[in-house]
Amino acid sequence: MPDYQYYRRALQGLPLPLAYLDLDLLDDNITAILSSARNLPIRIATKSVRCTHVLRYLLSSSSQFQGLMTFSIPESLFLADNGFDDLLVGYPNTNRQQLAALVTANLLGKTIIPMVDCREQMQRLQDAAEEIGFDQPVCVDVDMSSKFPLLHFGAHRSPLDSIEKFRRFLDDLDKMPRLKLVGIMGYEAQIAGVGDASPFNGLKNPLIKLLKRRSIPELTKRRQQAYKLAVERGHPICLVNGGGTGSIDSTRQDTSVTEITVGSGFYCSALFDYYSSFRLKPAAGFALEVTRQWSDHVFTLSGGGYIASGSINPDKQPVPYLPAGVKLFKDEGAGEVQSPFTYTGVEPLGLGDPVFMRHAKAGELCERFQQLHLIRAGKVVQIVPTYRGQGQCFL
């Protein structure tokens, strides 16, 4: 693995802070992800990448990467304008203007499939499709969470958490002649997005492993039942989507699944260090500059308060990466304009030196930086814009 001096030399002379992507480690992660998915097609989750250059790089690296899962309609239209196609919008939208723009893009030859999970969403999409005069393909999000006694294990996403509710959904869909159901998404958030080897979970880790083992057969059955019922009702299902970086191994064993979504594993953000079933390499990070020295072992960085979304827990803070021996203060953490830390490492450290950090989540790093510095063989070989660098902020 590259060490502190490797990245320090690669980025020497560049103004800090900056975000970087190590292409050599990215390639290693690509290889590992392809191997884990076996022969199943992989749809790339754009929210975990948020850089059009990197999206193109991933798609061109293997024919096994097929299509993108986007996180909003405006993002999908932006990507379509930039030459991308086969876009599955992973989350429902109820804005009538945006729905009309999506249907129009499909009418003009793009493939952008919206997500639905209830009658009200479908009705708005049906109205747009009827007005424009186009039969719009849609994908349904089926809930994959598990309900144990006194515990909801999973994300609160789709209301379609039983085959009976899915049947009623299909009844409503039958009343929407302009909508064509072509896909089913069953995302197992509690498997793909919950680490079971986190130092922040303590004694919860064995419980999380147990709940995962019990949840996988249940969610697999529900996804297969939904697929079977949709086909029996005459819907031309051509894609069944599941999984995420943390659940590739279990998702690929579901015979109904036609593709797996992967995103965070490419950059391998810090939260993905906390899985017992796989190991990927930390390809993306950011560099901050030491601007103060409070004592022999206490320094201050400029910036750094790039906190990840989700529940407010310590694991959502950036993680000090290089040099070894950097530790943030618990009562100050990573700050809005400065981040103090203690240092017990062996590398000489002084004012102006970089400290390398990793974001807790993958794509959110690109919301804080306009550029990614691409490193290959110890040198910056290209500087490319993120979504933000292209003037885009979708959610």
Look up residue 378 and give its two tokens: 């110890």
What pLDDT band is residue 80 in, cutting at 50, 70 and 90? very high
Convert the pLDDT of each residue in 314-324 to its tens digit: 899 999 999 99
Convert the pLDDT of each residue in 213-250 to its tens digit: 888 888 999 999 999 999 999 999 999 999 999 889 88
Query: Across all residues in the chain, what is the average pLDDT?
Result: 95
Asked whether the predicted pLDDT for residue 202 surpasses 80, the reply is no
Q: CA gyration radius for the chain?
A: 22
Convert the pLDDT of each residue in 21-60 to its tens digit: 999 999 999 999 999 999 999 999 999 999 999 999 999 9
What pLDDT band is residue 81 in, cutting at 50, 70 and 90? very high
As a whole number of angstroms, the distance between CA 74 and CA 78 comes to 6
**pLDDT at residue number 272:** 87
Asked whether the predicted pLDDT for residue 353 surpasses 90, the reply is yes
Please state the pTM of the whole predicted model.
Answer: 0.95
Residue 206 preceded by cis peptide, ω within 30 = no
Residue 134 near residue 103, CB atoms below 8 Å? yes
What pLDDT band is residue 12 in, cutting at 50, 70 and 90? very high
As a whole number of angstroms, the distance between CA 384 and CA 382 comes to 6
- Mean pLDDT for the stretch of residues 96-116: 98
**pLDDT at residue number 8:** 98
As a whole number of angstroms, the distance between CA 361 and CA 348 comes to 29
As a whole number of angstroms, the distance between CA 88 and CA 44 comes to 10
**pLDDT at residue number 252:** 93
20, 21, 93, 231 from 7: Cα distances, Å: 10, 11, 41, 53
Q: What are phi and psi of 167, to 5 degrees?
A: -60, -40
DSSP 93-118: ---HHHHHHHHHHHHTT--EEPEE-S
Look up residue 210 and give its two tokens: 């147990």
- Mean pLDDT for the stretch of residues 158-165: 96
